[in-house]
Structure 1
Amino acid sequence: MNDLLGKIARLVRDPSVSVDMTSFIFALCISVVAGIVVSLLYQRFYSQRATGSQVHRAFLLMSPSITALFIAIQFSLPLSLGLLGALSIIRFRTPIKEPEEVGFIFLLIASSVVCATFQFVLLFVLLGLAGFVLALQHYVPRLAQSARADGLLQITLNGETDPTGKELVLRELKSTFSRGQLQGYSSHDKTTTIHYTFTDLDTERLTSLQASLNQIAPAHRFNVFFNQQGTLL
């Protein structure tokens, strides 16, 4: 037992030592732990999105596989060339739908490669920094918020609505969405249609807005369109 712990300690202190079976198994175990951490980060900060392909289910297999692969190709040029050939014929039946998923996959690959080079201090720094950035983006969303609107409200008012009621509707929209913008205003066949872009719309705000508008001027139609799925919180 002391001999095993001594080998692991030497491996952590000097990653350039020769790779034996103990070092190989230790690297794979750490890689599995890294895969679990990346999978937990995915589930915590991204899996609730409707467009996600749930790619984290493969992380526990991918992480030790990538680590073993990169340990093996360190000692063989033919294997390195074979790896490039194998990667060139890979096809994904389930496409990656969001750029965030690419980020998680690259984080997993980077963690696995770091394990393959036995730079475990770098692994700790990498995962810690990734967790901090994801938490910061989650709890302070304005840091990574796009200037693009999340969606569009289409409100159709009855022809009986007077100009004062229409003005009150626009004021209510402006007070509800600080970053919203009027995109269209048209009247036809005794109805008035208002198009208004919005950001940061959650279920509670949507319900409150609809109730407020019904008190001001009952809407004939109230439609909400999103630029992408999973935007309503």
Structure 2
Amino acid sequence: MTIADLREAANTIMFGGDTRRVADLGLFTLSLALGAALLSSLLLSWAYSAFYGSRATGSNVHRSFPLISIAITAIFICVQFSLPLSLGLLGSLSIVRFRTPIKEPEEIGFIMLVIASALCCASFNVAFLIAILGVAMVALLVLRWSPAFLRRRAGSGTLVIRCTGEQYREALPSMISLIESHLSKPTFDSLSTAEDACVLTWSFQKVCLVKSAELERKLQETLPQASVGVYYNNHANA
């Protein structure tokens, strides 16, 4: 094999092209593709744990990224050199269904990134692989330190007050004043009355522990027999 052939093969590995010519270089080149798939999956696994590892839910899906990436790369390397094998794989996959639930929406994005990076490795397009991983990291940084227009507009907290109808009618102005002075951007959501009972709910974006405790205390003073509940989840603003 001449130096020109090696240069052409290296250019194909970087930017894609005739995959059969790259495969002719032997097992070493194919192992490089699997190694690139492994490295990219490890980077994505680290990114998932770094950006979303603090979530309370999730299935630790990032632990399967290396195996998924290697398997997809190997499958597509094999099927692109054999039409009967690719048709057989298509038929077998058509009867397979995966029913594992996706607990976090971010898992779908990361799984798609793993598949995309594996396809880049299988098609020997390292330049596109680097571009995908670079843009993905930029997107994760933007989501982490997102400007105000990317953040959730709806309230992530809920205030629930249960009181009698008489208390509701008498203390409503002072109740609204207390809520607006202690909560961030409160929005009145619902009102339900049944006989002499009344339930009111507000949503809000932020609250600090000191103001939350002070609000509950003042509402209890204003509505002695009422039930006050504050529910807030900071992950909703992430």
Q: For this structure pair, what is the TM-score category when the shorter chain's length is used for normalisation?
A: 0.7 to 0.9
Decide whether the 8 Å contact of 1:152 with 1:197 is kept in 2: yes
Q: Which residue of 1 aligns with 2:184?
A: 177
Decide whether the 8 Å contact of 2:14 with 2:127 is kept in 1: no
Q: Secondary structure at the match of 1:152?
A: strand
Q: Determine which structure has more spread, i.e. the larger CA radius of gyration.
A: 2
Once residues 59 and 177 of structure 1 are traced to their aligned partners in structure 2, the CA distance between those partners, rounded to angstroms, is 40
- Alignment map for 1:77-226 (pairs within 5 Å): 77-140=83-146, 142-156=148-162, 166-175=172-181, 176-178=183-185, 180-185=186-191, 193-199=199-205, 201=206, 205=207, 207-218=209-220, 220-224=226-230
Segments of 5+ residues of structure 2 without an aligned counterpart are none
Q: Secondary structure at the match of 1:131?
A: helix
- The Cα RMSD (Å) is 3.4
Q: CA-to-partner distance for each residue in 1:93-139, whole Å, 9 max, x for gaps?
A: 42113332111111100000001111111111101111111110121
Decide whether the 8 Å contact of 1:165 with 1:217 is kept in 2: no
Q: Which residue of 2 aligns with 1:35?
A: 41
Q: Does residue 64 of structure 2 align to residue 58 of structure 1?
A: yes
The percent of aligned pairs where both chains have the same amino acid is 34
Q: 1:79 to 1:27 in 2, by over 3 A?
A: same
Offset at residue 215 of structure 1 (A): 3.9
Q: CA-to-partner distance for each residue in 1:60-116, whole Å, 9 max, x for gaps?
A: 101111111111111111121122223223333421133321111111000000011
What residue identity is the alignment partner of 1:92? F
What residue identity is the alignment partner of 1:177? S
Q: 1:56 to 1:13 in 2, by over 3 A?
A: closer
Once residues 158 and 141 of structure 1 are traced to their aligned partners in structure 2, the CA distance between those partners, rounded to angstroms, is 42
TM-score by length of 2: 0.76
Alignment coverage as a number of residue pairs: 223
TM-score by length of 1: 0.78
